[in-house]
A and B are shown apart, each in its own frame.
Chain A
Amino acid sequence: MSAIEALYIFDEQNDPLLEHIYTGRPPPGSTVLPLYLAHPSPRPSLIYFPNTNPPTLLYSIVQDNLLFLSPSSTDTEPLQVLEFLHRVADVLEDFLGSPLLASRIESSYDTVAQLLSEMVDGGVIACTEPNALRDVVEAPSFMKNLLGGVGLPSSAPSLTPSATPFSLSSRPSPRLSPTPTNTTSPVPWRRANVRHTSNELYVDIVETLHVTIAPSGRPLSAISNGTIAFTAKVSGVPDLLLQLGCPGGIANTISLPVFHPSVRLNRWKERPGELSFVPPDGRFVLAGYEVDLLGPAALDSFSTSTKSNAGPKLNIPATAAILTSLGPTGADFEVRLSLNPRFSGKSASPLPSATGPSFPRSGGLGRGIGGSGFAAQGTTAAPVIEEMIVHIPLPASVKNIMDLRISRGPGDIAYAPGDRGIEWKINSREIGALMSTDRGGGTGATATLRGTVVGIDEDENLDGGPVSLSNNPYDYDDDQSLSSYQAPSEISAKKDEGADARKMKHNKVLMPSCATVSFSVKGWLASGVRVEGLNVDQKKSKGLGAGVTPYKGVKYLCVSRKGVESRC
């Protein structure tokens, strides 16, 4: 039941980069890769090849364009192997610098070899903690690479803390002496003898939005997945206390948390919102959580009433609405992007931060940001939407989009005939301009995109058989609750009788069924979670000089990666 038999890494061109065999006689990478590539994309993370000898399970992950494969001939726990592959990627990234590039691996095979042989021993996963590995494997440093003459493509050590978590100054001198002191640190996830000249602590909270909006405009689900990334560059063994706060109370907001092993669970249970821990050195993920922005009462409000206004309101930066089957033949569609006025980015807007509640949309059930939510955040007083992209996936039978244009608002459209989707990009500057058109209106800005679909088999199918129309008065159209969910356009389309009706029916199949919005907002979190305090417990900490107060920084980021989805 050896978990890991071998590890293969391939670069973006699927050229082999590394093969490390741990135990047994697994099929070589050159055998496994074609089989993997033969599987139609999107490829699942576990593929079974019954025809190889022996029959092989192949685990795969893709990170930073690199493909990590691990074959296995016996039944192993899939998540164990996949987690391991993720850890390998993380450890390599930690040691070689992020992002993980093929050239970085190639230029320091010796370090990679040491890491890989430390991480797995005889097929059993031994140690994947980056800090513990640092105790036994020396990271390739800039200086050493100069001496060694193996050229690293000059990735100059950047001074910003986030780019390279282990800057040159912070690295302890390599232990070349044959008798090092106690190599195993008392805390398994923190390496021994940490020493930093400048003591710094950074908290980054990132939330990823997953919102689904029904055709009626009612949000079906709105979940925000949060991750607290922590960067600790503090000497000795510090004992930290991070306090999180939230307008509605942290215990009511955050659900299903997971923690880094360093976090003391009892403390969290006794006092939710307080994370007490001894951090590993460097950057790590302290916790993950999720927030249901709709609250538990969401289902009750999803009633049979047809009015779309009755639903719970969400406070998200941007949504898209999509209208289909427009025009005389029902071949047109329209995507309407609306931006929340709150994110205009004008901190000097006529209404100061107290404006929040005065906006009509800011109320509602979503326990998102209260008025005080982001005003109190020191980072950005007025959050700005950046890098907005609207994706409109298209059915496979769409041949082309005629007359695709942005009828109102800025942006660029990326579409080529035959594509499976339209991309509508609006850069930050354009968003700013768009927002400024709507100053003080309080309704937010909108932009519109229109297009006409052309199907593949438009011509052949139009002269169909002896078929009558769909709008015969059957006694089956009485499904009221259904129609409340469906787009009103569909019903209106049905009314539109005439010669075009059949064409319309045909075009309906070609209509896009949803639009997704991607964006990122700095300085704002959908859940309203914020850091209320970060303290070093001087009594419990060791090795930190008296009176040293580390520099502390907090960042908030809310992103949506095709996460706000509007159906139609």
Chain B
Amino acid sequence: MHPSTYAHWSLSTARDLTLDAARDAGSARKTSARILPSGQLKKLLDSRAERDVLEGLRRVVTMSYRQPPSQTLPFFTAVIKNIASPSLPVKKLVYIYLLQHAEHEPDTALLSINTIQKSLTDQNPQLRALALRVMSGIRVPVISQIVSLGIKRGVGDMSPYVRRAAALAIPKCYSLDPNTEPQLLEYLSTLLGDKQYFVTGAAVAAFLEFCPDRLDLIHPHYRSLIRKLVDMDEWGQLATLQLMMVYARKCFPRRTRKVKKAVPASTENKKSARTTKGFYDSDSESEKSEDQEMEEIVTLDPDLELLLKACQPLLQSRNSAVIIAVARTYLYLGTPTYLSTAIGPLIALLRSAQDLQHIALYNIVQVCLSHPEPFVKYYTHFLVRSTDAPHIWRLKLELLTLIFPYAPLRLQSLILAELSHFSHSGSLDPGLVKEAVRAIGRCSQSSATSPKTSARCLRLLLAHIGSADAHLVAESLEVIRHLIQRDPDNHRTTVVRLAKHLDAATSPQARASIIWLVGEFAGVDPENNIAADVLRILAKGFAGEAEPAKLQIMLLAAKVYVHHLNANPPPEPAKPIEPQAPSALLEGFQDEGGFRDPHLESESTPQIPEKQPQEQPHPIAALYQYILLLTRYDTSYDLRDRARVYKALLASPSSTQLASLLLLAPKPVPQTPSPSETRKGYVLGSASLVVGDEGGVGGLRGYESLPPWVKEGQEPDPGLRDEDAASSEYQAGGSGGRILTASEKLDVAASNSRAPELGSSIGGSPVKSLNGIGPAGAGGNRKEKTLDDWLAEEEDEEDEEGSSEEETDDEEYESEEESTEEESDESDGAGEGGRLMK
């Protein structure tokens, strides 16, 4: 049901709800008080009248929902007795009770098995299915063989309803007793070929649960499954799409064909084609570096194309999960042309209820990270509304910045206006202001942004500096700082302008940020640098500054002084001073206890007159000394300590190497990737994508990343998917009276597929065959293999494959890791603060 409807329904009944709820509260829901004493209840259950029994069962089921099982367990025998009742409603309730309680009383539960087994042959298909479901649901391992037999019967049942119950019972039976696997595999492969889409959907779900690696079972049914896809129910569609995702990756090698790049019109297409492949395809690196003139076109296997085409109608599904699943199929298996058809339906998910909207947005962001262009025209959906919850607008802002580089000029200005609106109106949420400012920063940083737009972003940010909102100012400066650091050469004048804003900026953090930036640029263009001037002005108001600003003024003074010293080295190379530096440092420590430091007057002042005997000290030096003096008597420990460090560092004007190393070290350029970049590696539609790195490094438990494309020449023989062959094979199996075991089938399949590959495969090299159909490793052990052999072999190969996969993954994700590193730098607020304070 499309979620936009829920709201509507609740609307039409809003009045009912309030009225009924009021009545509800009034009556205080007395049902819990109406629980009968257990003796009476037992009597009801033991009664001969069906109505009484039904009533008793109802009460027991009610109890079981409200109370721990210890309360309802005493009725176990009394309830189970009724299992033989001819009445369907009674039976149903007994079954429900049995499913909930059998585990606590396995022995007594066994008594009921016989009756349930009888129900398997009942005339009513509904009852047969129910019996099958209950039997497999009772978690008593002893009965696994009986369950297996029951499934066998169910597989051959006339009613699809029963066959579906049989399909769903398979994983349950397997978890009861793994030894039943061979029989179950056989049942499952029959069910996968069932004519009823109703059944196959359930069979696929069971397959995924029970043996997701046995893709060999799928081959003969591949085409029929694809054909039934449209008719299955939504949950069957979901399961099938999930299966096909893995199947296609492992069975259809990615083939590309080189075509002369035809017209510039197709460049866009090409670009996006590249990005898709870059996402997961390990080969893309080498391909990218190849000739630019050639365009690569993915040639789809006809069977794969069948799948992609069959997905098309599902895009109109009312189930949001199905739409995401189709988008996932197109993103990872299809071509950009297919993907573009899924963009609209993805956007349509945004009109659903907020809970679904949130998850859908994560997925949209994920697609948008790799294919931003098609999203541009849906920009109106990404505008933040005042009713959006924080987790919604965060993602919407990200989407706006993601489409920004690809938007036409007018839209760019609209997006910027939108962002600046939210950065201005500090009213709603400080977090929103922060994110909006950051988003402006990201917009201006993207490579596609024209310098003019970038300048506009900067102007927007600069306009915030005078604001009364401390959050806004601090965040704007942070972003401005990033912008300037990324491109220092073009921003010299910006720093000058920023310095002018010092008059307006009130927040200590903002002032500190500006002062730091001025200090960073103190060495640039020494002829007309403002740093010294800024220092002069700040020195006047030093006493009135807050501590963070004082720290930065101190730092600025030190930097300006170092630059001054570097530019005008003291006339004498001053050999004797060299050893004095450490001693000065020591003295500084000794002086710690003393309130008055004689060092300043007694030692360093004499030194300067030594060199410039009758002159006044240079104004910069004087300023520096003045600031040092001021900080010495500041109330802040931190400030005093820092002052001492700088003093010791710069004690000797002639040896500034260490000081410049410390103070003038080039700072790394900060990177601000889109917040979701860290999640880029997760598969679309998974919960790990939503949870992000919080869920652990490899995603959440049970998360499976996408398998790589099978290499050309290692895929299973496409002939296996021919339906005639499959059916004849089955007939052979059936008529021969001997049922092929799975391992035998594997061997047959393996020998089939070996023939065309002999030439290409290098002997002895273990070829990956997760699906069990690739050529076997060495020719020698091709006797008759048991299933266990096969499984063991698969495991080995899987391991090998896993490791190689990791390698390629490493290469692939290198760039990503970089960004995450940078991100972690970014997010490490303390580290950054430290850098700032340097």
Contacts and interface: CB of A to CB of B under 8 A. Distances in A.
A129 to B, nearest CB: 7
Contacts, number: 398
Nearest to A16: B66
A107 interface: yes
Nearest to B689: A78
B355 A60 contact: yes
A124 B208 CA distance: 10
B460 A65 contact: no
A106 B29 contact: yes
A73 B701 contact: yes
Contacts of A42: 389-391
A270 interface: no
15 contacts: A46-B359, A64-B10, A72-B687, A77-B321, A101-B20, A110-B57, A148-B54, A150-B31, A176-B87, A221-B380, A256-B345, A258-B317, A465-B506, A466-B541, A505-B468
A269 B643 CA distance: 77
B142 to A, nearest CB: 19
A395 B428 contact: yes
Query: How large, as a class, is the contact surface on chain A?
Result: 35 or more
A44 B691 contact: no
B55 interface: yes
Contacts of A74: 700-703
Interface string A92-126: 01000011011100110110111001000111111
Given A99-B17, A122-B136, A19 B24 contact: no
B306 interface: no
Given A103-B27, A109-B62, A514 B386 contact: yes
Contacts of B95: 117
A338 interface: no
Contacts of A80: 235, 238, 321
Interface stretch (B217-225, B416-424, B441-449, B621-629): B416-424
A142 interface: no
A149 B55 contact: yes
Contacts of B386: 393, 513-514, 516, 562, 565
Contacts of B320: 79, 82-83
A567 B355 CA distance: 25
A208 interface: yes
Interface string A61-92: 10111000000111111111011001101100
Given A122-B137, A188-B198, A467-B504, A102 B24 contact: yes
A259 B318 contact: yes
B459 interface: yes
Given A103-B24, A474-B497, 18 more contacts: A45-B359, A48-B687, A63-B10, A76-B687, A80-B235, A87-B1, A106-B29, A113-B65, A117-B96, A124-B202, A124-B206, A124-B235, A148-B58, A227-B4, A265-B316, A285-B2, A476-B497, A559-B8
Interface string B494-519: 00010011011010000000000000
B73 interface: no
Contact of A82 (B88, B355, B379, B380): B355
B614 interface: no
Contact of A225 (B4, B694, B704): B4
A90 B10 contact: no
Interface stretch (A297-305, A523-531, A537-545): A297-305
Nearest to A285: B5
B359 A79 contact: yes
B810 interface: no
Interface stretch (B167-175, B595-603, B722-730): B167-175
Contacts of A82: 320-321, 355-356, 359
Given A54-B701, A79-B324, A106-B31, A18 B65 contact: yes
Contacts of A229: 5, 8-9
Contact of A220 (B313, B324, B380): B380
B694 A86 contact: no
B358 to A, nearest CB: 6
Contact of B463 (A101, A225, A476): A476
A83 B503 contact: no
Given A179-B123, A256-B344, A261-B318, A90 B1 contact: yes
B99 A223 contact: no
Interface stretch (A354-362, A404-412, A434-442, A477-485): A477-485
A467 B506 contact: yes
Nearest to B12: A162
Contacts of A478: 459
Contacts of A452: none
Given A75-B687, A106-B31, A467-B506, A510 B427 contact: yes
A77 B462 contact: no
A462 B15 CA distance: 48
Nearest to A395: B427
Q: Which of B4, B21, B242, B467 has the most CB of A within 10 A?
A: B4
A113 B101 CA distance: 14
